[in-house]
Amino acid sequence: MKILTQLKKYSAELVDLHHTLALMQWDQEVRMPRRAAEGRAGQFATLSALVHRREVAPELGVLLVKAEAQKTSLSVEDRALLRVMRRSYDQNTKLPEEFVAEFSRLTSQAQMAWLEAREQSEFAIFQPLLERLVVMARQQAEYLGYAAHPYDALLDLYEEGLTTVQVEGMFAELQVPLVALVKRFSGRLPPLAFAEPFSQTGQEQFAEHLLVAMGFDFTRGCLTRSAHPFTTTLGHHDRRITNRYAPKSLDFIFGALHEGGHALYEQGIAEGLAHSHLDDGVSLGIHESQSRFWENVLGRSRPFWQRFFPELQQAFPAQFAHTGLEDFVRGINAVTPGLIRVDADELTYNLHVLIRFEIEKGLIEGSLEVAALPRVWREKYRQYLGVEVESDAVGVLQDIHWAHGSFGYFPTYTIGNLASAQIWEAYKKYDPGFCQTLADGNLAKVKEWLAREIHAHGSVYLPQELLVRVTGAPLSVGPFLAYLEEKFSALAG
Amino acid sequence: MKILTQLKKYSAELVDLHHTLALMQWDQEVRMPRRAAEGRAGQFATLSALVHRREVAPELGVLLVKAEAQKTSLSVEDRALLRVMRRSYDQNTKLPEEFVAEFSRLTSQAQMAWLEAREQSEFAIFQPLLERLVVMARQQAEYLGYAAHPYDALLDLYEEGLTTVQVEGMFAELQVPLVALVKRFSGRLPPLAFAEPFSQTGQEQFAEHLLVAMGFDFTRGCLTRSAHPFTTTLGHHDRRITNRYAPKSLDFIFGALHEGGHALYEQGIAEGLAHSHLDDGVSLGIHESQSRFWENVLGRSRPFWQRFFPELQQAFPAQFAHTGLEDFVRGINAVTPGLIRVDADELTYNLHVLIRFEIEKGLIEGSLEVAALPRVWREKYRQYLGVEVESDAVGVLQDIHWAHGSFGYFPTYTIGNLASAQIWEAYKKYDPGFCQTLADGNLAKVKEWLAREIHAHGSVYLPQELLVRVTGAPLSVGPFLAYLEEKFSALAG
């Protein structure tokens, strides 16, 4: 068999097994009975160990070396496959099998503990697990290796090549202008409030309606409910979204648009990349650029709601019969420093991320103890956002990421926000009539451009490379700040 | 490490992996988007092959031989574990890895084809897949080996030691008395008919209510919807039921009782057997005895409905306000030769099984062609049940079993029916006040007896051995025929 055929077969097998692991996680958050948690953790650890063994097999190392010797004769896609598999092989061979199994068992347990801790607003339930997670994450960084800071090793897992210094630089450029914008617009756009609850069924139906309008393909995915919305891939034709439904919140809309954006990226990957390591978004930052593009850039814009607000009014007359389009658009963009990251407006959101970045960095470098988190969380929220944290449930326990064992993930949210604005600039050049396009509800036009320019390529191009291809420039904070300035000035009149 | 500790660790790993495969199947029938079918088939094949490799590993063979050398010093449970693992190892080592992967891929595809064929009532959609399945099942029988008939090898997969000759003998004893009973009682008990549909939500709630009353533990299981109801185990604390909901049928009740019976068996297995090959019902026949016990022996009895009929009336006043208890109990026992096995009454049910047995035997021995199935199906239904098959959807395409690659499974339904009556005789000796027990809704008393006598033992005792322990006698047709005679004579007055 040709080397490359062998490599592709190997890739397909690993992808199959990772999709199986993803199914176990999806089920864990969507359907699994509570007492099954410990057993599932064991099952997950068993399969993870088996997969890990395949991922670090010397035969794969040999295949990679042989394929690399033929590199110059390969197509762009095959070279990319080799790049992604090499990166994954190098990362994996650095982690001992025992470590992988224990980490996976620990994160399964931690997720259940986190759920309970959050329900009871009791950090102490989660604390011992988080302490073990931090120890293991530091260990992970040591195994993976880094040049300057142990946190670099973790950042790199989610955004190839990203460093602590870069993230610090990004926030240094953002922090002052963001705080100024928050000051200018805080309280100037009246938020929406609902006396009547939205029915669960009505929310589900409207979320589904929006997803269909965006072009989400329900024959290749589904929408279910979970505590924390997420998107996951269980196969080339199986990209699933979860959403959540609170009685008096518009989460169901922005959750659907956000996860829908992630899912469109995944569903848009070219058929030719199916069943391989390239059949995936290239990085979390680029992934987040897609979710935020739909959630914020389009989904909180006036032209988008010119088309959809009448339908929303029809679906929920008790809530919207007496609200006008302008009030609605101002309401969904209200700037209110708050406690919850996923509820944050576009101006305060990246300050939430900054807090998490500083805490993670402290935990990993050892300058911060887990036991101090509730206190530190309160202090930073007071300092950066001017709000008082009422309870751990709406404080340090609000995010599932650490329970997943994900440290270094949060900064990719800010990268996504910056990239979404930069991509929007490029789209507007392609379609100068973008206002009318949205007002007509012609989301297919936007989706097709995104699919062609970004989605179809899967992991073929590096994140920075892709961004330059699409926008003509590397990532910068300028387009994002300009987008905010223009949008909020217009809204505030 | 002690040999037995090693063996138990090996058992736990395999059980974990099998539960993962079960999750993939559960999801496939409950939630998976349709276009994901082919990808899932590939994933299932990939993991199956990996599991198979672990199941046939020479190191496991060595472990078994070493453990068998210590056999006399082992506890009853450990000897049983050894027995079950040996049986499984011998079965698995006979099947080449390639064969297992291909069979698993084929059954995944066949299930989707079957769904479509059934929807369109078009046997031709399923036929090519069924042809390939029969070829592979015959191949499987050759690999497994048999003394007298290739079908013996397949029967043995589901009911250890069962032979074609035994099944023929069982049906020879049953057929004449059953046909006579059908003649006597056909049309004498007026069936129920509903003008108003049952709401889906109402059905789900009542099904859940019955399951709670039976003692099904929802912290260790869940209830969802699928095309064909089934029960599956995804972990010691994760036993799942599916049910189906038609607008004007009582399927939701008897489906819940039936699958609930299976699930109680699984949930009742002793904690000490968790995470091992013994954490499973011992055979399909014994499993079916538990489902039929709840569905028919209890669930179609007058005393059971003395307790639950008032609640049913309250839940569905439009359907039951003007129905009395006696009419209801006669209605749910109406004897009407029909087309659908799962809708069949207790008198005709085993004739449906007989037809499938004869067809399977023919397919496997090669005396019957797949292409002839729709015709043969029609002829046998005319001959044994006196009914005309209107379409393949309600004929040869009604069961999912063959699409699962399961040949030799159907006869275990009849074994279950016979065993349920035999177990009921034993229960009545234990609790002579059984009528009052049921009328009081004291299902806990029945469940606890079943759990103690049958469920707790998992796969520790052989099916026949277990039946003798519980009832004092090996399986026979006598108690079942006596049960039918007594029940239907009383109902017909």
**Single-letter amino acid code for the residue at B472:** G
Residue B159 lies in a domain: no
Q: Does B212 touch chain A (CB under 8 A)?
A: no
Query: What single string gives the DSSP state of each residue in B45-91?
Result: HHHHHHHHHHHT-HHHHHHHHHHHHTGGGS-HHHHHHHHHHHHHHHH
* Alpha-carbon distance values, A286 to A266, A434, B157 (Å): 12, 22, 51
Residue B34 lies in a domain: yes
In the structure encoding, which two tokens stand for residue B86, read together? 């040996």
In chain B, which residue's Cα lies nearest the Cα of A41? B16
Q: Round to whole Å and give the CA distance between A414 and A422.
A: 13
What are the mean pLDDT values of chain B's consecutive 10-residue runs (493 residues total)? 94 98 96 94 91 94 97 96 97 89 88 94 98 98 96 96 94 96 96 96 98 98 93 98 96 97 98 97 97 98 98 97 96 96 95 98 97 98 96 96 96 98 98 98 98 98 96 96 98 92
Residues B287, B210, single domain; the answer is yes
Residues B141, B179, single domain; the answer is no
Q: Round to whole Å and give the CA distance between A98 and A400.
A: 24
Return the number of other C-beta atoms located less than 10 Å from residue A425's C-beta. 16
Q: What angle do CA B437, B443, B449 make, to 5 degrees?
A: 90
Residues B254, B138, single domain; the answer is no
Q: Is the pLDDT of residue A267 over 90?
A: yes
Q: Round to whole Å and give the CA distance between A217 and A455.
A: 14
Number of cross-chain residue pairs from A and B with Cβ atoms under 8 Å apart? 113
Give the torsion through C-alpha atoms of B77, B78, B80, B81, to 10 deg. 120
Residues B15, B61, single domain; the answer is yes
pLDDT attached to residue A104: 82
Residues A282, A348, single domain; the answer is yes
Q: Round to whole Å and give the CA distance between A12 and B43.
A: 9
Return the number of other C-beta atoms located less than 10 Å from residue A110's C-beta. 23
Q: Cβ separation of A35 and B219 shorter than 8 Å?
A: yes
Average pLDDT rounded to a whole number, residues A24-32 = 95
Of B16, B39, B237, the CB nearest to A33: B237
pLDDT attached to residue B89: 97
* Mean pLDDT score of chain A: 96
CA distance A240 to chain B (A): 9
CA distance A221 to chain B (A): 5
Provide the ipTM: 0.89
Substitution target in B34, B40, B43, B222 with the highest count of A β-carbons within 10 Å is B43
Q: Cβ separation of A13 and B46 shorter than 8 Å?
A: yes
pLDDT attached to residue B108: 83
Q: Per the residue annotation, which of A259, A266, A288, A346 is the catalytic one?
A: A259
* Residue-wise pLDDT tens digits, B112-140: 899 999 999 999 999 999 999 999 999 99
Residue in A71, A73, A96, A104 with CA at minimum distance from that of residue A85: A71
CATH number at residue B399: 1.10.1370.30
Q: Round to whole Å and give the CA distance between B382 and B136.
A: 30
Residue A54 pLDDT level (bands cut at 50, 70, 90) = very high
Of B27, B33, B38, the CB nearest to A27: B27
Residue A493 pLDDT level (bands cut at 50, 70, 90) = confident
How do A231-235 and A238-243 pair as beta strands?
Answer: antiparallel
Return the number of other C-beta atoms located less than 10 Å from residue A307's C-beta. 16
Contacts of residue A154, Cβ cutoff 8 Å, sequence gap at least 6:
A137, A140, A141, A144, A360, A364, A407, A408
Of A46, A50, A220, the CB nearest to B35: A220
By CB neighbour count within 10 A (0-12 exposed, 13-18 middle, 19+ buried), where does B166 fall?
A: middle
Q: Cβ separation of A33 and B221 shorter than 8 Å?
A: yes
A231 φ, ψ (degrees, to nearest 5): -120, 140
In chain B, which residue's Cα lies nearest the Cα of A238? B36
Q: Cβ separation of B24 and A27 shorter than 8 Å?
A: no
Residue A186 lies in a domain: yes
Residues A137, A172, single domain; the answer is no
Give me the long-range contacts of B472-476 (CB less than 8 A, separation at least 24): B472/B426, B473/B422, B475/B285, B475/B415, B475/B418, B475/B419, B475/B422, B476/B418, B476/B422
Residue A443 pLDDT level (bands cut at 50, 70, 90) = very high
* Alpha-carbon distance values, A193 to A190, A246, A307, A319, A334 (Å): 9, 13, 22, 9, 11
Q: Cβ separation of B221 and A24 shorter than 8 Å?
A: no
Q: Does A393 touch chain B (CB under 8 A)?
A: no
* Tokens 């012609």 sit on residue: A442
Alpha-helical regions (H) of A371-477: 373-380, 411-430, 434-439, 443-453, 463-471
* Tokens 């100068």 sit on residue: A432
Task: Name every chain B residue with its beta carbon within 8 A of the beta carbon of A39.
Answer: 19, 235-238, 274-275
Residue B154 lies in a domain: no
* Residue-wise pLDDT tens digits, A62-85: 999 999 999 999 999 999 999 999
pLDDT attached to residue B173: 97
Q: Cβ separation of B224 and A31 shorter than 8 Å?
A: yes
Residues B137, B170, single domain; the answer is no
Of A17, A20, A235, the CB nearest to B36: A235
Percent of all residues in chain A with a pLDDT value above 70, rounded to a whole number: 100
Q: Does A237 touch chain B (CB under 8 A)?
A: yes
Q: Per the residue annotation, which of B29, B55, B159, B259 is the catalytic one?
A: B259
Q: Cβ separation of A19 and B33 shorter than 8 Å?
A: no
Contacts of residue A261, Cβ cutoff 8 Å, sequence gap at least 6:
A214, A290, A291, A292, A293, A294, A295
Q: Round to whole Å and give the CA distance between B367 and B363.
A: 6
Residues B296, B393, single domain; the answer is yes
Task: Name every chain A residue with its beta carbon within 8 A of the beta carbon of B235.
Answer: 36, 39-40, 43
Residue B198 region by backbone torsions, left for phi larger than 0, else alpha for psi between -120 and 50, else beta: beta
Residues B57, B83, single domain; the answer is yes
Residue A65 lies in a domain: yes
Q: Round to whole Å and give the CA distance between B325 and B309.
A: 7
In chain A, which residue's Cα lies nearest the Cα of B42? A16
Q: Cβ separation of B40 and A12 shorter than 8 Å?
A: no
Of A13, A40, A221, the CB nearest to B33: A221
Alpha-helical regions (H) of A270-301: 284-292
Q: Which domain holds residue A36?
A: 3-146
Q: A96 and A144 in contact (C-beta within 8 Å)?
A: no
In the structure encoding, which two tokens stand for residue A153, read together? 């090793």
Q: B386 and B337 in contact (C-beta within 8 Å)?
A: yes
Q: Round to whole Å and give the CA distance between B322 and B334.
A: 19
In chain A, which residue's Cα lies nearest the Cα of B16? A43
Residues B185, B313, single domain; the answer is yes
Q: Which helix (H) or strand (E) holds B284?
A: helix B284-292
Q: Which of A89, A114, A146 is the last residue of a domain?
A: A146
Residue A255 lies in a domain: yes
Q: Round to whole Å and give the CA distance between B5 and B3.
A: 5
Q: Cβ separation of A238 and B33 shorter than 8 Å?
A: yes
Residues B269, B377, single domain; the answer is yes
Substitution target in A46, A208, A232, A240 with the highest count of B β-carbons within 10 Å is A46
Number of domains in chain B: 2
Substitution target in B28, B48, B50 with the highest count of A β-carbons within 10 Å is B50
Q: Give B 23-42 residues with CB within 8 A of chain A.
A: 23-24, 27, 31-36, 38-40, 42
Task: Name every chain B residue with its beta carbon within 8 A of the beta carbon of A275.
Answer: 39, 42
Residues B106, B201, single domain; the answer is no
Q: Round to whole Å and give the CA distance between B66 and B229.
A: 42
Catalytic residue at B259? yes
Q: How many CA atoms lie within 13 A of B158 on its CB side?
A: 24
Residue A153 lies in a domain: no
Contacts of residue A433, Cβ cutoff 8 Å, sequence gap at least 6:
none
Task: Name every chain A residue with its beta carbon within 8 A of the beta carbon of B20.
Answer: 20, 24, 43, 46-47
Q: Round to whole Å and give the CA distance between B136 and B405.
A: 9
**Single-letter amino acid code for the residue at A77:** E
* Residue-wise pLDDT tens digits, A177-187: 999 999 999 99
Residue B153 lies in a domain: no
Q: Round to whole Å and give the CA distance between A455 and A447.
A: 9
Q: Round to whole Å and give the CA distance between B423 and B450.
A: 9
